[in-house]
Homo-oligomer: A and B are copies of this chain.
């Protein structure tokens, strides 16, 4: 069995982590009796600087029909984020209707949380973030630009269907995991979008009577990701709130360098995309110290998505193993100064 994977290393350390993770993914795949056929797309900021666009006009079409997409990172110090992101990452999420962004946050044995009293195994949650609409919809405008009475409108758009997709995915996950779902909104101050969201959670929840639903406001939830992260299991939130909570989840579990993500097209009509949560990190590019583990763990999510759960678990337990081993190499974000290569070499040894 061979899967057709689109590889988009992108910018900065995206290149480094994808190059490093690839042989690890291949090894785990070979072990499990399948292989990955990559097509590599050199899209991103260098292309933008040379040719004026992040990807070719037919970029989206060239990705269509793949079994999955593995993305490194997007972003360049000399190009505004809205150019790079809107030119590459966001169109993939939107055009392939990747409604659900799934981001686990696990505190592994051997990794130090910045929170007192939390050790390996104490935090194990997953955030389901709505991924294609909400607060990041491109709807709004500015009027009377530059005058005293200037006003800007930024409209969040919540569709029942988009909301249902992510809410249902979260209930499904809660059923498989601990049976608890935390719904994060801000309905006391945002009476339209967030109230629709709460309504959808209540309605879909009726189909899952065994899942206990907790409701939190986003300010309290952010605080609770610091105060009691051990009590969360599955969390569901809007695009913006999920964005904030997943960064908090990454930091309380020790490092942005360990946070993977899946951007999932629920119906399976289009490819899903897997990417580390971290960005292109221009400050450490070229030093060979980027942590490849978030990309490896994103690969594990990719394997799960392909139905190759055994290989996915293998990858994840190799990572857990390595992190638990005090003598294993680690990158500087985890407090040791080994390089990217040393980490993946060690990891291959553990597979």
Q: Given A114-B116, A115-B115, are A154 and B193 also a contact pair (CB < 8 Å)?
A: yes
Are B154 and A192 within 8 A (Cβ)?
Answer: yes
Residues on A facing B (Cβ under 8 Å): 80-82, 85, 90, 112-117, 135-136, 138-142, 144, 147-161, 186-196, 218-220, 222-223, 226-227, 239-240, 243-244, 246-248, 250-252, 256
Instruction: From the candidates B151, B155, B188, B219, name the one contacting A154 in the complex (CB within 8 A).
Output: B155
- Neighbouring B residues of A196 by C-beta, 8 Å: 142, 150, 152
Are A149 and B161 within 8 A (Cβ)?
Answer: yes
Are B223 and A250 within 8 A (Cβ)?
Answer: yes
Are B226 and A193 within 8 A (Cβ)?
Answer: no
Instruction: For the complex, give the distance between the alpha carbons of A139 and B220 in Å.
Output: 24
Are A160 and B151 within 8 A (Cβ)?
Answer: yes
Instruction: For the complex, give the distance between the alpha carbons of A140 and B194 in Å.
Output: 11
Are B219 and A153 within 8 A (Cβ)?
Answer: no
- Neighbouring B residues of A247 by C-beta, 8 Å: 219-220, 222-223
Are B150 and A159 within 8 A (Cβ)?
Answer: yes
- In the complex formed, the residue of B with least CB distance to A151 is B159
Are A142 and B192 within 8 A (Cβ)?
Answer: yes
- Neighbouring B residues of A114 by C-beta, 8 Å: 115-117, 226-227
Are A156 and B156 within 8 A (Cβ)?
Answer: yes
- Neighbouring B residues of A154 by C-beta, 8 Å: 155-156, 158, 190-194
A-B contact pairs, 17 of them (CB 8 A): A82-B188, A85-B189, A113-B116, A114-B115, A139-B153, A140-B190, A140-B192, A142-B192, A142-B196, A147-B160, A149-B159, A151-B160, A153-B156, A154-B158, A155-B155, A189-B239, A226-B248
Instruction: From the candidates B81, B144, B222, name the one contacting A222 in the complex (CB within 8 A).
Output: B222
Are B141 and A192 within 8 A (Cβ)?
Answer: yes
Instruction: For the complex, give the distance between the alpha carbons of A196 and B154 in Å.
Output: 10
Lowest 7 CB-CB distances: which A-B pairs, in order? A81-B188, A154-B193, A140-B192, A150-B160, A152-B196, A219-B247, A136-B189
Instruction: For the complex, give the distance between the alpha carbons of A85 and B187 in Å.
Output: 11
Are A151 and B157 within 8 A (Cβ)?
Answer: yes
- Neighbouring B residues of A81 by C-beta, 8 Å: 187-188
Are B190 and A136 within 8 A (Cβ)?
Answer: yes
Starting from the known contacts A113-B116, A114-B227, A153-B193, 7 additional A-B residue pairs (CB-CB under 8 Å) come to A81-B188, A114-B115, A114-B117, A135-B189, A149-B161, A218-B240, A222-B247
- Neighbouring B residues of A251 by C-beta, 8 Å: 223, 226-227
Are A222 and B244 within 8 A (Cβ)?
Answer: yes
Instruction: For the complex, give the distance between the alpha carbons of A141 and B190 in Å.
Output: 10
Instruction: From the candidates B139, B144, B195, B240, name the one contacting A152 in the complex (CB within 8 A).
Output: B195
- Tell me the minimal C-beta distance from A342 to chain B in angstroms: 25
